A = this chain, B = another copy of it.
Amino acid sequence: MTDQQVPSTIKDEALIVKRRNQMIKGAVTLFMEKGFHKTTTREIAKASGFSIGTLYEYIRKKEDVLFLVCDSIYQRVKERMEASIDPEQTTVKSLIQAVRSYFQLMDDMQDEVLVMYQEVKSLSREAQEYVLQKERDMVAMLEQVIINSLPGEYAEAEVRLMANNIFVQGQMWGFRRWILQRNFTIKTYTDTQIHLLLRGLGKETEGIIQPADNAGHA
């Protein structure tokens, strides 16, 4: 699919895909080093292996590059998640496995995820909405795994929050690397998070915890 979101003057569809992949690859590195705003269109062109003029045959505005980058990253993350997680499994073990492979994924792609995280806000409102939908889908996947693994044990709101927690804890491994990766490897991080997830504090909960079976609107 040649992102309809970003039209091009070029006719050759295969070429568009090829050139855009060059762009994305070059741009990610640059965005990682200096951020979107401090990166020049000329730099992007050079890193992509063609000239500034050519760049503008494949995009309209600089922001289009950012969109292509974010979209591509989200897409890859989503695909790898779909490939490694089977939401039809129904054991706690499979939940654990899902968390493990998700965390591993976030470790593999931490640079990309970090870039995405820091720059999506520079996208236009619509582009953000478009890209964020993929995020919702991923959280929903985690939700589904939880529901299937622990049927009937948790309120809807709890499950939703758990899914969000896991999702963010994965990203956190990347965007708080400066502190976490001094204390953990991805393996020990994963193990410890799973440990906390399963055990909780498990004591003296009487009277302190509210029912928490709420799902109302704000």
Binding site for B on A (CB under 8 A): 35, 37, 92-93, 96, 118, 121-122, 132, 136, 139, 150, 157-158, 160-162, 164-165, 168-169, 172, 176, 178-185, 188-189, 191-205, 208-210, 212, 214-218
* Option from B165, B205, B217 in Cβ contact (under 8 Å) with A198: B205
Q: Are B199 and A209 in contact (CB under 8 A)?
A: yes
As for how many copies of this chain the complex holds, the number is 2
In whole angstroms, how far apart are the Cα atoms of A96 and B203 in the complex? Answer: 13
Query: A199 contacts which chain B residues (CB < 8 A)?
Result: 200-202, 205, 209
User: With contacts A92-B203, A182-B218, A196-B200 known, is A191 near B212, CB below 8 A?
Assistant: yes
Query: A164 contacts which chain B residues (CB < 8 A)?
Result: 172, 176, 179-180
Q: Enumerate 30 A-B pairs (CB-CB under 8 Å) in ascending A order.
A: A96-B208, A118-B118, A132-B178, A139-B179, A157-B184, A157-B188, A158-B192, A158-B195, A160-B183, A161-B183, A161-B196, A164-B172, A165-B169, A165-B193, A168-B169, A181-B218, A182-B218, A191-B214, A195-B209, A195-B210, A195-B212, A197-B200, A198-B203, A198-B205, A198-B208, A198-B209, A199-B200, A199-B202, A199-B209, A200-B200
